């Protein structure tokens, strides 16, 4: 796979081509995922749960994110690397710059922040200084205690606010958006309203891309499975084949299906 960059992903959006995103946290899986044709590797703060065994993403530190980003960079074979800024590491624009610098220097190509229009100043500052930003809207796991659990966001009157937030963050300089657990029709409206690529998880089939946590996609995560998860390993005979099947299903739009999204 040729090296993927923001221009590549923007061109895919403009041409109506879907791209895939999958988490990875080490060199071995970064190589496997990138060689399978997945365009974007997310070094997610989900590592706090799937690697560290915590019950949320909140305990993850910038130093831990930088370490895993550096590991992914060493194994990556051309994918675009996105890294999460963890909980309370971007509460001010100045803190966001310091945290983003650590992840970019570790090997990230873009950083992801969770929030709404209040992120505009930080996003503007980062993008002006050469740090691409993906803004994460909808269900934002770092604020799960405020949201009252892992609930669908953007229903009813909240839909207009989320759409306005998406537009405001694009205007502030966000290079990508990620929508988690929002109604499919709202995700479609956001994707059509902005010019930047939109990644979805539990957000219907009309976003420009899909993302899953690697461990969920392989069916090895314990506990209750979210409806947006599909176990691709169950239909294949190896991890490599499962990852390739996931990428192909996103590309040819056979995943997600209606049972994987919310109305």
Angle (CA) 112-14-2 rounded to 5° is 70
Cα–Cα dist 4/119, whole Å: 26
Compute CA 54 distance to the chain's CA centroid, rounded to the nearest angstrom: 20
- Number of domains, the chain: 1
63 found inside a domain:
yes
260 found inside a domain:
no
25 found inside a domain:
yes
Angle subtended by helix axes 62-75 and 93-106, to nearest 10: 30
216 found inside a domain:
yes
By residue count, the chain amounts to 263
Whether the CB-CB separation of 112 and 42 falls below 8 Å is answered with yes
pLDDT at 224: 85
80 found inside a domain:
yes
Show binding-site residues for Mg(2+).
45, 84, 114
149 found inside a domain:
yes
Q: Which residues are catalytic?
A: 180
Show binding-site residues.
45-46, 84, 112, 114
Cα–Cα dist 14/33, whole Å: 24
Show binding-site residues for 3-methyl-2-oxobutanoate.
45-46, 84, 112
259 found inside a domain:
no
Give, for all 263 residues of the chain, the pLDDT tens digit: 789 999 999 999 999 999 999 999 999 999 999 999 999 999 999 999 999 999 999 999 999 999 999 999 999 999 999 999 999 999 999 999 999 999 999 999 999 999 999 999 999 999 999 999 999 999 999 998 887 777 899 999 999 999 999 999 999 999 999 999 999 999 999 999 999 999 999 999 999 999 999 999 999 998 888 999 999 999 999 999 999 999 999 999 999 999 999 99
Q: Which positions ≥6 away from 202 have C-beta within 8 Å?
A: 139, 152, 180, 181, 182, 226, 227, 228, 260, 261, 262
263 found inside a domain:
no
> What CATH number should be reported for the domain holding residue 121?
3.20.20.60
pTM of the model: 0.97
Write out the residue range of the structural domain in which residue 74 sits.
6-252
């Amino acid at each position: 796979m040729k090296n993927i960059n923001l221009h590549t992903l923007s061109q895919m959006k403009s041409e109506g081509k879907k791209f895939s995103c999958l988490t990875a946290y080490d060199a071995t899986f970064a190589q496997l995922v990138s060689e399978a044709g997945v365009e974007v590797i997310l070094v997610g703060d989900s590592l706090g749960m799937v690697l560290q065994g915590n019950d949320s993403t909140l305990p993850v530190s910038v130093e831990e994110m930088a370490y895993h980003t550096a590991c992914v960079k060493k194994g990556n074979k051309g994918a675009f690397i996105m890294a999460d800024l963890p909980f309370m590491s971007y509460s001010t624009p100045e803190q966001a710059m310091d945290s983003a610098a650590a992840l970019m220097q570790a090997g990230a190509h873009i950083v992801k922040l969770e929030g709404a229009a209040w992120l505009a100043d930080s996003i503007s500052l980062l993008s002006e200084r050469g740090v691409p930003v993906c803004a994460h809207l909808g269900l934002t796991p770092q604020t799960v205690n405020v949201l009252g659990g892992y609930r669908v966001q953007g229903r009813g009157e909240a839909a207009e606010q989320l759409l306005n937030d998406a537009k405001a963050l694009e205007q502030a300089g966000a290079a990508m958006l990620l929508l988690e657990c929002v109604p499919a029709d709202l995700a479609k409206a956001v994707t059509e309203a902005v010019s930047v690529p939109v990644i979805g998880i539990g957000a219907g089939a009309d976003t420009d891309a899909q993302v899953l946590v690697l461990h969920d996609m392989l069916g090895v995560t314990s506990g209750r499975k979210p409806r947006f998860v599909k176990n691709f390993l169950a239909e294949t005979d190896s991890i490599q084949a499962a990852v390739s099947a996931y990428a192909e299903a996103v590309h040819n739009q056979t995943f997600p299906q209606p049972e994987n999204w919310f109305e």
